[in-house]
């Protein structure tokens, strides 16, 4: 089309629009003009209003001016701008449609971890974080280094405490007539004495003075078990993680904090050889056997990794983090943002509640609106008693807890996933000659083999579910070792499907 023809067409269209607008204005103001601008008997002539004056002013400019002429470059730019605006408008419409659809679907899966203290709940939680949000999990690796160092130092100080009792002749748990310490052990005890101060320093950094459950744990050592740090939920440990993220990511930690951390690492590096020698000592191993103490089976055991963990450049591995132990007092809420996958629920909220007898009364408040309960039963604890009540067998306590959960009417619509956990420790105990029937009399004369024991316990938990559930409920059973990431990832993949189906069903999508 010739340029003058295109300009004429554009001008005609502009005039047509202006004429239409003018007609509309006149129609709207015609009645008012008819009566306001003519003389009526007994009525004064009304002045023009401001709106009328503006309309009159616009009517005086006629015909409207031509739009500025366009050259070819400007015309193409205008077309491109119109096309871009159209694409942007379409994208906004599509995003609004997606958001409307997402609002109709569940956005958050809720999981509740239950079980007695030291059942492995924290390890399962860390496995969920590692599986669904590996980048976020690895980003917090530095925050776990002081905890792992503290776990190691507490184990060493526990042994030193036993040696001190033996040296003073006041060891109630040792055999009568225990020999005095050898010169080697005396030297190791002296060279490792600075670790007492390291423990106090690490405990204060991690928990803070207001967060330690029992400050006496720093100074007194349980004759049967290495002590552990206790942190109140939402105070010490959470604040510590925030501190560590700040110190790693943006350098906000103070010079004194960095200096203290480096001093701790230098002491551990200098003591690594003596720590390894202490653990390798046959005198120490014999003393632990005489007291029926197995540090290898306790949470937070790192004495077999001394040289690696005490290096100046040490960074915790995922397996180290899974094995690390810090006791949290009170319930904790953990939000996991899924970094992969196609399910609509991109956020999982996991509640880790305290398992000691004094904290179980708080469980009920988490029963509402939860999709799945993961119950952990440490089946290796068949020959152990509760820390807070030495007359109660831990396995019997787990069975009682399971019966209470199964019979709760508030949970009738909740999916149950049962972890028969710590199968690795159970296997070692049975293979070492410990007889299961001596602690669980109903096992009777069945073969004392791990496979038979696991089957017996699995059937026992299944029977309780069938007997005490208010209505028939499918139970998902898994025999697990929570610190085995490869095996646990397979189990977690199954759990992912269970949780997704249950959450969708709860919103009537299925």
Q: Quick one: CA torsion of 93, 97, 99, 101, rounded to 10 degrees?
A: 180
210 is in an annotated binding site: no
Cα four-point dihedral sign 215, 173, 325, 311: positive
Please enumerate in sequence order all residues whose Cβ is within 8 A of that of 345, keeping only pairs 6 or more positions apart, or say none.
Answer: 105, 106, 107, 108, 109, 338, 499, 500, 503
Cα distance between residue 208 and residue 231, in whole Å: 8
428 is in an annotated binding site: no
Helix-strand-coil percent breakdown of the chain, rounded to 5?
Answer: 60, 10, 30
Q: How far apart are CA 319 and CA 123, in angstroms?
A: 10
491 annotated ligand-binding residue? no
**The dihedral of CA 225, 361, 471, 494: what is its sign?**
negative
Under 8 Å between Cβ of 478 and 419: yes
Residue 184, both tokens: 């080697």
Short-list 432, 441, 354, 359, CA closest to 393: 441
Q: Where are the alpha helices (DSSP H) in 373-484?
A: 394-407, 423-431, 450-468
**Known binder of ligand: residue 460?**
no
226 is in an annotated binding site: no
The answer to whether the beta carbons of residues 212 and 230 sit under 8 Å apart is yes
Q: Long-range contacts of range 367-371, CB-CB < 8 Å, 24 or more positions apart?
A: 367/112, 367/408, 367/410, 367/411, 367/414, 368/410, 369/110, 370/110, 370/111, 370/112, 370/414, 371/109, 371/110, 371/111, 371/414, 371/415, 371/499, 371/502, 371/503, 371/506
Query: Is 421 flagged in the annotation as binding?
Result: yes
Any binding-site annotation on 325?
yes
> Binding residue per annotation — 327?
yes
Is 323 within any annotated ligand binding site? yes
Residue whose pair of structure tokens reads 């409307």 in the numeric block: 100
Q: According to the annotation, is 322 in a ligand binding site? A: yes
Q: Residue 171 annotated as binding?
A: no
> Given the DSSP bridges, would you call strands 327-329 and 230-232 parallel, antiparallel or unpaired?
parallel
Question: 3-class SS at 47?
Answer: coil
Helix (H, G, I), strand (E, B) or coil at 31: helix
CA distance 327 to 77: 66
- Cross-strand bridge partners of residue 377: 420
C-alpha to C-alpha distance for 180 and 63, rounded to whole angstroms: 116
Separation of alpha carbons 429 and 425, rounded Å = 6
Which residues neighbour 462 within 8 Å (Cβ) at sequence distance 6 or greater?
475, 477
331 φ, ψ (degrees, to nearest 5): -70, 150
Determine whether the annotation assigns residue 422 to a binding site: yes
Q: Where are the beta strands (DSSP E) in 44-185?
A: 108-114
Specify binding-site residues for Mg(2+): 328
Binding-site entries for GTP? 322-328, 421-424, 482
Annotated binding site: 322-328, 421-424, 482
């Amino acid at each position: 089309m010739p340029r003058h023809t295109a300009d004429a067409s554009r001008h005609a269209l502009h005039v047509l629009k202006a004429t239409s607008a003018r007609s509309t204005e006149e129609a709207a103001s015609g009645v008012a003009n008819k009566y306001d601008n003519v003389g009526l008997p007994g009525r004064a002539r009304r002045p023009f209003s401001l709106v009328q004056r503006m309309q009159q002013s616009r009517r005086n400019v006629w015909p409207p001016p031509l739009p500025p002429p366009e050259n070819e470059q400007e015309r193409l730019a205008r077309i491109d701008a119109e096309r871009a605006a159209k694409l942007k408008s379409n994208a906004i419409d599509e995003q609004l449609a997606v958001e409307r659809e997402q609002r109709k679907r569940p956005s958050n899966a809720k999981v509740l971890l239950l079980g007695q203290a030291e059942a492995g709940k924290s390890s399962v939680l860390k496995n969920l974080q590692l599986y669904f949000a590996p980048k976020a999990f690895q980003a917090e690796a530095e925050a776990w280094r002081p905890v792992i160092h503290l776990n190691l130092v507490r184990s060493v100080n526990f042994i030193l405490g036993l040696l001190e009792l033996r040296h003073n002749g006041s060891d109630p748990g040792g055999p009568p007539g225990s020999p005095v310490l050898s010169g080697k052990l005396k030297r190791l005890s002296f060279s490792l004495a600075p670790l007492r101060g390291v423990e106090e320093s690490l405990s204060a950094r991690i928990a803070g003075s207001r967060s330690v459950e029992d400050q006496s744990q720093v100074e007194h050592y349980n004759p049967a078990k290495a002590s552990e740090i206790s942190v109140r939920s939402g105070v010490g440990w959470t604040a510590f993680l925030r501190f560590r993220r700040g110190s790693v990511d943006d350098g906000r930690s103070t010079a004194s904090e960095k200096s203290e951390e480096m001093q701790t690492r230098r002491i551990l590096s200098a003591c690594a050889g003596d720590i390894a020698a202490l653990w390798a000592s046959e005198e120490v191993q014999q003393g632990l056997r005489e007291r029926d103490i197995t540090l290898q089976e306790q949470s937070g055991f790192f004495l077999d990794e001394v040289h690696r963990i005490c290096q100046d450049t040490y960074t915790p591995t995922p397996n180290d983090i899974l094995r690390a132990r810090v006791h949290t007092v009170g319930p904790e809420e953990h939000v996991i943002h899924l970094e992969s996958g196609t399910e609509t629920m991109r956020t999982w909220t996991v509640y880790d509640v305290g398992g000691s007898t004094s904290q179980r009364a708080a469980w009920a408040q988490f029963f509402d609106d939860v999709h799945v309960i993961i119950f952990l039963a440490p089946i290796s604890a068949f020959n152990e008693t509760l820390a807070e009540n030495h007359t109660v067998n831990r396995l019997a306590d787990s069975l009682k807890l399971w019966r209470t959960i199964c019979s709760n009417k508030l949970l009738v619509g909740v999916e149950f996933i049962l972890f028969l956990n710590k199968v690795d420790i159970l296997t070692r105990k049975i293979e070492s000659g410990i007889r299961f029937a001596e602690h669980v009399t109903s096992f009777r004369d069945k073969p004392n083999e791990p496979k038979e024991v696991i089957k017996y316990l699995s059937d026992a938990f299944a029977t309780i579910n069938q007997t005490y559930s208010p209505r028939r409920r499918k139970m998902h059973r898994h025999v697990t070792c929570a610190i085995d990431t490869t095996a646990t990832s397979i189990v977690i993949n199954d759990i992912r499907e269970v949780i997704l189906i249950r959450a969708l069903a709860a919103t009537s999508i299925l």
